[in-house]
Amino acid sequence: MSGQISEFKLVTGALATLALAVSALVLMPYYLLHGVRPPQGLKPYTEQQLRGRAVYVKDGCVYCHSQQPRDPGQAPDNTRGWGRPSVAADYAYDKPHLLGTMRTGPDLFNIAARQPSEDWNLGHLYQPRAYTPGSIMPAFPFLFTEVRGPTAAGEKAVNVPPSYAKPGVTVLPTQQAKDLVAYLLSLDHTYPVLQAQAAQP
Amino acid sequence: MLLLASFVLSLGGLFVFIASMTRGLFGTPEEGSRVIFAPDEEDTSEEPAASPADQARLQAEMRGLAAGGPSVEMSAADLAARIKADQSSAGPVLLCLSFAVLWLVLGSLAGLTSSLKLHLPDWLDGQAWLTFGRIRPSHLNAVIYGWSSLAGVGVALWLIPRLLKTELIGGRYAIAGAVLWNVGVAGGIAAILSGHSSGLEWLEFPFPAACLLTVGGALMGVPLILTMKHRQVKHLYVSVWYLGAALLWFPLLYAVANAPGVHFGVEQATMNWWYGHNVLGLWFTPLGLAAAYYFIPKVLGTPIYSYNLSLLGFWTLAFFYSQVGGHHLIGGPVPTWLITLSIVQSLMMIVPVFAVAVNQHMTVVGHFRALRYSPTLRFIVLGAMMYTLASLQGSIEALRSVNTITHFTHFTVAHAHLGLYGFFAMVMFGSIYFVMPRVLEREWPHAALISLHFWLVVGGFAIYFIGLSIGGWLQGLAMLDAKQPFMASVAVTLPYLQARSLGGALMTLGHLAFGAHFFLMIFSLKQREAGATRFGFLSMSRNDVSQVRL
C-alpha cells in the first residue's frame, strides 16, 4: 500500500460514520422538533420557577428523578400518579432538559398535581424521612435556616413533624428553598394533549 | 416494518461501506499483524512488569525454554531504535498517566461517598457541595475525563512511536493539551461542586471548562498526525486505526455536544444520549481496544489470531456504535424511528464485539498460564473478557422488553461500570504496568502491591457488579408491579446498595495501593541498571535464563 492511502481512509471513514450518527441522532431531531409549539395548557416558567429550576439543576435532583412518564402499555407510571405519557411539546420551555435516567426516587413530571402543598414540599426537602418513612433522599438542611427564639412576623416556618423537630428551633426556608418548591409546584402536565403528538413526528 | 426497514438499511449501508473502505486493505493480513514486532522479534515475549524469573517462565510457556528461548532475536540496531522510540514519548506519557492516577484516587473517593450516601442519606448533609447530587457527577466526571481519558491518551501517546516505529514528534502539543485538559477537569469539577453544573449528564462541565477540554483534546491528538508523516512502517496496525479515529472523534463529539445555544428540549435529550453513548463507543472503547490489540500479542510474542477480523471489527464498531445512543430514551417522548434505529444498531454491535472476542480469545487460548506470570496480561485479558460481557449485556439491555425492566434502575449503573471499569479501567491498569518501566527505565518496586491491587479491584468489582445488578433488576420488577407502592422499589435495593459500597470500598483500597505504588516508583531514588526488566528476555544471557527454576 503506498503513500497516505491508509490515513485518507481512516479520516474519511471516521468522519463519515460520525456524520451519519450526527445526522440521525442530532440533526434529524433538531429539524423535526424545532417547529413543535407548546401545548395550550402549558405556561412558560415564571422568574421564580426558573430560579427554582436552577436549584434543581445545581443540586442534582435529576440523578434520582426522571421527568418522563411512560406509556401505560409499557409501565404502570400513570397508575402511580405520575401522569400520562409525555410528548415532545411538553418540554417546549425546558433548557436544559431534565428528562433523567434514574428513578431512585419517583418521576416528578406531575409532582405538583400529586403533592400540591407548599408546606409538604418544604418539609419534605428539609427532612424527607419525616414525611416518607424509608426514603433515601438526602435531606437539604442547607436550604433552610434554623432560628432559636422568636422569628419576624410574617415569616412562615417549616412544618417539621415532632419526631424530627428540635426543641426551641424554628426552621425557615431560604429563598432557594422557596424557589425550588415554586418550580416543583409548576410541574403539572395534566392538561390534555393530542395523542397524535405523542407519535409525532 | 420500521424495524425491518432500518435493519435492511443499516446492513446494506454497512456492506457498501466496508467494501469501499477496505479494498486492498485485506491484501496483506499476515504482514499487518506482524508490524508490532521488529524483524526476528516474534516469539520473544515482552513483559516489563514481571520479575526476571516470571519473564523467563513466560518465555518458556510461550516457546519452550528447553530450546533456549526464541531461536532468533531482534538485532541490536532494532533494539536501540526501540529504546529511542520509547524514550521519545516518556515526558508526555508520564504527565498524562500521573494525573490520571491522581484523578482515579479522587474520583474513587467521590464515588464511594456517593454510594454510601444512598443508604446513609443523612450522612454529610450539612453542606451544599457534599450533597449527593453534586458528589455523584463529580465522581463521574473525575473518572471519565480525569482518569479514563488521560490514562487512555497517555497509553496512546506511548503506543504511537511503537506502532509507527519512529520517535514521537510533537510531544509538546500533547503536553500543552494535557495541561489545558487538567485545568478544564479541575475547573469543571469545582464548578459542579460549587453549583455551576450545566445539568446535562456526562456534559456537566460549564462552557469555559468544556472549551478547555475540546482544545486540549484536539492538541493531544496532534502528535499522532505529525508522527504519522514520519512513520517507518508501510502498514498501519489495527491499533493505529482505533487510536487515530478516537483522537479525531472526541473533539468533534464534545464540540457538537457543547455548542452553545443550539440544543433545546427533547432534541437536547437525544443529543445528550447521542453524546453519552458515543463517548463510550467512539472514545473509550477504541482507546481500550487499541491497547488490548497491542499488548496481548506483544506480551505473548505472537501475532493476533486474525488480522482481517480485527479490521472488520474496527469498521463495524465505527458504523454501529455511533448510532446506539437512542436506547437510553426507550419509552421516552422521542420519535419512534430514532429509538428503533438505536435498538437495531445496539443489536448489530454483536458483530464488532464478536470480532474482538474471537480474535483476542484465539490469540490467548492455549497460553492461559501466561496470565500467572504477566501482570499486564492478567489485567488486560480480564478486561477484554469484560468488554465482551459488557457489550453483549448492552445489546440485550437495549431490547424493549428487557429495557422496560432495567431502565431507570441501578442495573444500568452496574452495566456502565462493567464497560468503563471491568473493561476500560482493567485494560488501562495492565497497560500502565507495562508502560511505566519503559517510561522510567525502572522496575516496579513491589510486586506484592501489583497482586494486592489486582485482587482488591477484582474482588471489589465482583461484589459491586453482581450486587448492584441483582438490586437493580429487583428494583425494576418492583416498579413495574402496580400493586406494590413505589417505596417497595426503594426498600428492595437497600442490601444491594450496601453491597455496592463494600465492593466500591475494596476497589478504592485497590486504587490507593496502585496510586501509592505508582508514585513510589516515580519518586524512588533507586535507578536500576538495564536489568532483565528493562529489555525483557534479550538482556538476559542464556545462562541466566537456564538457571531460573521453572
pLDDT band of residue B3 (cuts 50, 70, 90) is low
pLDDT tens, position by position, A54-83: 999 999 999 999 999 999 999 999 999 999
pLDDT at B66 exceeding the cut of 50: no
Answer yes or no: do B322 and A74 touch at CB < 8 A: no
Instruction: State the smallest CA–CA distance between residue A139 and chain B in angstroms.
Output: 6
pLDDT band of residue B538 (cuts 50, 70, 90) is very low
More confident: A3 or B14? B14
Please measure the distance between the N-terminal and C-terminal CA atoms of chain A and give it in whole angstroms: 47
pLDDT at B332 exceeding the cut of 50: yes
Among residues B465, B458, B472, which one has the least CA distance to residue B418?
B465
d(CA B498, CA B130): 19
Among residues B154, B172, B137, which one has the least CA distance to residue B97?
B154
Interface test with A, best of B135, B266, B336 (most A CBs within 10 A): B266
A194 touches chain B (CB under 8 A): no
Please measure the distance between the N-terminal and C-terminal CA atoms of chain B and give it in whole angstroms: 63
Tell me which residue has cell 448492584. B468
- Note whether B210 and B184 are within 8 A (CB): yes
Residues forming beta bridges with residue A169, ordered by sequence position? A148
Out of B56-70, B108-122, B343-357, least confident range:
B56-70
pLDDT band of residue A153 (cuts 50, 70, 90) is confident
Q: Which residue type occupies B72? A: V
Helix axis angle for B238-258 and B307-316, nearest 10°, is 10
Q: Which residue type occupies B399? A: L
Q: Chain-wide mean pLDDT for chain B?
A: 90
pLDDT of residue B43: 85
pLDDT at B531 exceeding the cut of 60: no
B127 touches chain A (CB under 8 A): yes
Interface pTM (ipTM) of the complex? 0.94
pLDDT at B67 exceeding the cut of 60: no
Going B249 to B233 to B148 to B206, the CA torsion angle's sign is: negative
More confident: B18 or B113? B113
B21 touches chain A (CB under 8 A): yes
Out of A173-177, B68-72, B196-200, least confident range:
B68-72
pLDDT of residue B70: 61
Helix axis angle for B350-364 and B336-348, nearest 10°, is 20
Residue A48: phi, psi to the nearest 5?
Answer: -65, -40
Tell which A residues from 39 to 78 touch B, by Cβ distance under 8 Å. 57-64, 66, 68, 70-71, 74-76
Q: Which residue type occupies B42? A: E
d(CA B72, CA B320): 43
- Note whether B422 and B379 are within 8 A (CB): no
pLDDT of residue B158: 98
Answer yes or no: do B197 and A60 touch at CB < 8 A: yes
* High-pLDDT (> 70) share of chain B, %: 89
Residue A148: phi, psi to the nearest 5?
Answer: -95, 145
d(CA B121, CA B115): 10
Residue from the list A63, A76, A85 with its beta carbon closest to the beta carbon of B133: A63
Instruction: State the smallest CA–CA distance between residue A153 and chain B in angstroms.
Output: 27
CB-based contacts of B307: which residues, under 8 Å, 6+ apart? Answer: B29, B30, B32, B33, B238
pLDDT of residue B542: 39
Among residues B165, B48, B157, which one has the least CA distance to residue B95?
B157
pLDDT of residue B29: 59
pLDDT band of residue A7 (cuts 50, 70, 90) is confident
* High-pLDDT (> 90) share of chain B, %: 77
Which letter does DSSP use for residue B281 in this model?
Answer: I
Contacts of A79 in chain B (CB under 8 A): 482
pLDDT of residue B524: 85
d(CA A65, CA A108): 6
pLDDT band of residue B207 (cuts 50, 70, 90) is very high
Tell which A residues from 21 to 40 touch B, by Cβ distance under 8 Å. 21-22, 24-26, 28-30, 32-34, 36
Residue from the list B25, B322, B400 with its beta carbon closest to the beta carbon of A17: B322
Q: Which residue does chain B place closest to A19, by CA atoms?
A: B322
pLDDT band of residue B69 (cuts 50, 70, 90) is low
CB-based contacts of B270: which residues, under 8 Å, 6+ apart? Answer: A25, A26, A29, B325, B326, B329, B334, B338
Q: Which residue type occupies B393? A: Q
pTM: 0.93
Residue from the list A24, A91, A135 with its beta carbon closest to the beta carbon of B341: A24
pLDDT tens, position by position, A139-152: 999 999 999 887 77
pLDDT tens, position by position, B177-194: 999 999 999 999 999 999
pLDDT of residue B62: 81
Q: What does the radius of gyration of chain B's CA atoms come to, in whole angstroms?
A: 23
Q: Which run of H or E residues covers position B264? A: none
Q: Which residue does chain A place closest to B331, by CA atoms?
A: A70
pLDDT of residue B310: 87
Answer yes or no: do A129 and B322 touch at CB < 8 A: no
pLDDT at B12 exceeding the cut of 80: no
Interface test with B, best of A10, A53, A56, A90 (most B CBs within 10 A): A10
Q: How many CA atoms lie within 13 A of B404 on its CB side?
A: 13
pLDDT band of residue A197 (cuts 50, 70, 90) is very low
- Note whether B513 and B496 are within 8 A (CB): no
> What angle is formed at CA B129 by the lines to CA B125 and CA B132, rounded to 5 degrees?
55
d(CA B550, CA B57): 6
- Note whether B272 and B339 are within 8 A (CB): no
- Note whether B156 and B247 are within 8 A (CB): yes
Helix axis angle for A175-184 and A118-126, nearest 10°, is 120
Q: How far is CA A70 from CA A74, A99, A114, B141, B337, in A?
A: 7, 12, 17, 29, 17
pLDDT of residue A130: 96
pLDDT at A200 exceeding the cut of 50: no
- Note whether B394 and B415 are within 8 A (CB): yes
Going A36 to A40 to A41 to A44, the CA torsion angle's sign is: positive
A146 touches chain B (CB under 8 A): no
DSSP string, B474-494: HHHHHHH-TTS-HHHHHHTTH
Is A173 strand, coil or helix?
A: strand
Q: Can you say whether residue B199 is alpha, beta or left, with left for phi > 0 and alpha for psi between -120 and 50 degrees?
A: left
Instruction: State the smallest CA–CA distance between residue B189 and chain A in angstroms.
Output: 12
